[in-house]
Structure 1
Amino acid sequence: MSPAAEVFIQATDTDPDVRARAVVEETHRQLLEQLVALTEPHQELTTAFTDQLHRLLTATEQTLYAAASGAAETRLLVRALRVTAEIIGRHTDSLTAVTDSTERAGAARTLAGMLTVHLGVERTVLLPALAALPGADVSALVGDFSTVLAGGRLEDPEIVDVREIPHGQRHPRIFTRFARLAGGESFVLVNNHDPKPLRREFEATHPGRFTWEYLESGPEQWQIRITRVDDDA
């Protein structure tokens, strides 16, 4: 073991994954507390709260969902969570248009109920599944999650070279990078074989939302430009 390596006992407070999950749990707790306060009549809905909720949804999409979206074990779970996240986002936006305080409090209670269930599934199902997923570094993902939540921007390389990464750990890295693309943006994947299984996973998780262009096709190296199709295309 390297002298600089971190020593910890798995599944205890010294475990980086446990500490990372605690960060997510505390973030969820604080947000829900703010939302519960809005369920009382005459409470004002602030743009700061709605912005924070949207940042939470964005941060989760770009990190936790992205890493889990390409794995067979978690693909359907992420698909369902994305549907509910979209509904929560729309409900949050509609809440800002309600002017009657009593009606707004009722809408806030509905949102609180939806969000409580949604975040509970993330904590009790998604995070443990990610921790068991080969190649998914929960601690690093939650670090990125915190960065986006705070309004920061993640470093997104234009070239993702996975040749030195063990095979079982490549796909979470690639799907996480794709999730951070805006419509029309792309990155170049460099691999030591033709990643046909990866392309099938993209077709299953992002049908019609990407293009796949071979820039180099072996025999020693493959380069593929992966582009996110613009939503308006």
Structure 2
Amino acid sequence: MPAAEIFIQATETDPTVIARTAVREAHQRLRAGLAELTTTEPMADADQPSSAELIDFCRHELRQYLDVADRNLYAPAAGSSAGRLLVDALRVGRSALDRQIDDLAAAGTSDTARIGAMIAGALDLQFRIEESVLLPTLAELAGVEPSLAVASPQASVVEERGEAPAVIDVRQIARGGRHPRVFARYARLAPGEAFILVNSHDPQPLRREFEAIHSGAFSWDYLQTGPEEWRVRIGRVAVDD
């Protein structure tokens, strides 16, 4: 097989390439959506985007992405010393975007285009940092596979509803990388969410680590107890208001 063909096949299955492609595609969809709704070009009245459409896009599609990015990208990176300051900066940017979206929803019609343009500019900076700094940082973290840190908003919505909890089969992960992968997945859970761990034995050593690190903040429910396969539902405990 020619070297070039081998390289193409390798990049198609490279987790870093998969993650970068998925994130950039999500970014491009949101950029295009904002651009269409904040256009300043003259258009026929029937085709002119409305303020309500822009507000709806920002409050739902844009915020949904920000939630998914925080849970699936920021949280795993925040667990390392190399990524902690970066994630702090990204979360400051995310908070600023949330405030701008609130301002947009409360603004009069005359201000929606101006605030929408501000949101587009702030979002572009956020996206550039995610692509150029955050993804390379995730790629270097032991136990975090970038392609698994990326999930579509639709998949996350399904998981939030409890229809299809994520499954991590650690039998398919090399020793030494199993516990970090599980803790990285736990870090991405929102309160009340869970995932299913599959193992070839009772994962009591992992449970002891959870007790030491996340005591009182996790749930551990056996779904199957051998003899050849163990399944455990691990969740983040919802905090009562």
TM interval, shorter chain, is: 0.5 to 0.7
What is the CA-CA distance between 1:32 and the residue it aligns to?
Answer: 1.3
Partner of 1:20: 19
1:125 and 2:139 aligned: no
1:76 and 2:85 aligned: yes
Partner of 1:36: 35
1:61 and 2:74 aligned: no
Pair member with larger Rg = 2
Q: 1:148/1:65 Cα in 2 relative to 1: closer, same or farther (>3 Å)? A: farther
Unpaired stretches in structure 2, ≥5 consecutive residues: 1-5, 41-47, 198-202, 221-231
Q: 1:32/1:160 Cα in 2 relative to 1: closer, same or farther (>3 Å)? A: closer
Q: 1:168/1:19 Cα in 2 relative to 1: closer, same or farther (>3 Å)? A: closer
Partner of 2:159: 153
Partner of 1:205: none
1:51 partner letter? H
Taking only the aligned residue pairs, the percentage that are identical comes to: 31
What is the CA-CA distance between 1:50 and the residue it aligns to?
Answer: 3.0
2:216 partner letter? T
What is the CA-CA distance between 1:64 and the residue it aligns to?
Answer: 1.2
Answer whether contact 2:144 2:184 (CA < 8 A) is retained: no
Partner of 1:104: 112
1:110 partner letter? M
Q: 1:229/1:18 Cα in 2 relative to 1: closer, same or farther (>3 Å)? A: same
Unpaired stretches in structure 1, ≥5 consecutive residues: 1-6, 203-209, 216-222
Partner of 2:44: none
Q: 1:83/1:211 Cα in 2 relative to 1: closer, same or farther (>3 Å)? A: farther
What is the CA-CA distance between 1:53 and the residue it aligns to?
Answer: 0.4
* CA distance in structure 2 between the partners assigned to 1:60 and 1:16 by the alignment: 17
* CA distance in structure 1 between the partners assigned to 2:218 and 2:71 by the alignment: 23
Partner of 1:90: 99
Between Structure 1 and Structure 2, the one with more helix by share is: 2
Answer whether contact 2:65 2:153 (CA < 8 A) is retained: no
Q: 1:214/1:112 Cα in 2 relative to 1: closer, same or farther (>3 Å)? A: closer
**1:143-222 superposed matches below 5 A:** 144-145=151-152, 147-148=154-155, 151-153=157-159, 155-156=164-165, 166-182=175-191, 190-192=203-205, 194-195=208-209, 199=213, 211=216
What is the CA-CA distance between 1:212 and the residue it aligns to?
Answer: 5.1
* CA distance in structure 1 between the partners assigned to 2:212 and 2:133 by the alignment: 24
What is the root-mean-square deviation of aligned Cα atoms in Å? 3.8
Q: How many residues align?
A: 204
Partner of 1:141: 149
What secondary structure sits across from 1:195 in the alignment?
helix
Answer whether contact 1:17 1:131 (CA < 8 A) is retained: yes
Answer whether contact 1:156 1:177 (CA < 8 A) is retained: no
> TM-score normalized by structure 1?
0.68
> TM-score normalized by structure 2?
0.66
Answer whether contact 1:8 1:14 (CA < 8 A) is retained: no
